Amino acid sequence: MGKGSRRGLAALKAPATCADTGTLASRGSGVGVRGFRMVRAANAVAIATAVLLSAAGPAAASDVSDAIGAQQRVERRIERLTHRSKIRERRLRRAVVRAERGNDARPGPQTLSALGATRRTERNFGRWAASSLRALEERHDELESWLYSWGIFRVCPVDGPRYIHDDFGETVTVGDAPPHIHRGSDVEAPTWTPIRAPFDGYAWASSSPYGGYQIRVRGDRGYVFIAHLIGYGDLGWVSAGTTVGYVGDTGLSTAPHAHVEWHPWNGGAVDPYYLLRLSCG
C-alpha cells in the first residue's frame, strides 16, 4: 500500500478509540509514516547482507520481505546445487571406476595418468561442491538469524488499507474504564478487513467487555493478542497469513480497528509498532 492511501485513511477516519487507547489524535497523525525512510533495494541479497554486516536493524519496512525472499532464493540454490552435484558426483565416480578397470586391464603410464586425471577431477569437484554448499548454508544461517531478530511478524496481521498508530504506552481514559496504559498499537482498518496470523502458531478466541471479541495467536517466540474483532476466521493450528478473524469495533471501541499486542516469550506486552511497520510495509 502506498503512503498516500495510509494518510488518506488516517485523514478520513476519526481516531480509533478503544478501552485501552487514549490520545490517538495527538500522536497518531501520520508523522511517523511520512517521515519513514523508504529504501528500495534492487538486490534483496545485497541489502540483507549490508544490514547483516552493519549488525544493525532493518533500514526500511521492506527489509523483512526482502530477507525472506533472499532466504527462499538461497534455499532453492542449495536444493539445486545438492541435486546437480549428486548427479555429477555419480558420473565422476563411474568415470574413475572405468579408468581403474582400464588401468587394471592394460597397465601402463597412459592409463595410469588417465586414472590420475579422472581422480583429480572427481576430487576437485567434490571440494568445489562442498565449499559452495558451505557458503550457501552460511548465508542461509545469517539470513535466518537476521530474520529471527527482526522478522518476528512474517505477515502483516491486518490487511490494507490500514493505518498503524504509534500509541503504545499512552495513558488511556475512555468510557467508564479506569485510566490505564495502552499495551498495544491500534491499527485502523475498515470493518471486515481480514486479520491474519503473523506467524505459524496456534490461534484461539476469547471475549471481554473491553476487548470485545479477541484472538490470540501463539508462535514459538510469544503471542499476539488482537481485540475488537467482528468475527473469527480459522482457529487452532494456523500458518503465517491464515485469516484468523476480521476487524470490527466490539468491546469498548468507537471506530473499527484492531488493537494489536505483542507478548514475547508469552510475558508482558512490548511495543509492537516497529514489528508492525516492518511486516506491513
Q: Interface with Zn ion by CB under 5 A: which residues? A: 18, 20-21, 186, 259
139 or 228: CB nearest Zn ion: 228
Query: Taking the complex as a whole, how short is the minimal distance between the CB of residue 228 and Zn ion, in angstroms?
Result: 8
Work out how close the CB of 132 gets to Zn ion at its nearest, in angstroms, rounded to a whole number: 50
Sequence-separated contacts (24+) of 52-59 with Cβ below 8 Å: 52/142, 52/143, 52/146, 57/149, 57/150, 58/150, 58/278
Phi/psi class of residue 253: alpha, beta or left (left: φ > 0; alpha: ψ in -120 to 50)? beta
Nearer to Zn ion, 20 or 249 (CB): 20
Quick one: DSSP state of residue 37?
A: P
Name the residue nearer to Zn ion (CB basis): 24 or 68.
Answer: 24
Q: What is the DSSP string of 230-250?
A: EEE---EEE-TT-EEEEEB--
- Element containing residue 259 per DSSP (H, E): strand 257-264
Tell me how far, at minimum, the Cβ of 273 lies from Zn ion, in Å: 12
Instruction: Give the span between the Cα atoms of 32 and 165, in whole angstroms.
Output: 9
DSSP 156: -
Q: Which residue number, 47 or 269, has a Cβ lying nearer to Zn ion?
A: 269
- Give the residue with the Cβ less far from Zn ion, 212 or 233: 212
Produce one character per residue of 74-102: b if its CB has 16 or more CB atoms within 10 Å, e if not: beeebeeeeeebeeeeeebeebbeebeeb
Residue closest to Zn ion when measured from CB atoms: 259
d(CA 280, CA 65) in angstroms, rounded, equals 10
Q: How many CB atoms lie within 10 A of CB 206?
A: 11
Beta carbon nearer to Zn ion, 18 or 244: 18
Q: How far is the CB of 174 from Zn ion (least distance, A)?
A: 10
| Least distance between Zn ion and beta carbon 48 (Å) | 33
State the minimum distance, in angstroms, from the CB of residue 21 to Zn ion. Answer: 4
CB of 185 to Zn ion, least distance (A): 7
Task: Give the angle subtended at the CA of 133 by the CAs of 137 and 70, to the nearest 5°.
Answer: 45
60 versus 258: smaller Cβ distance to Zn ion:
258
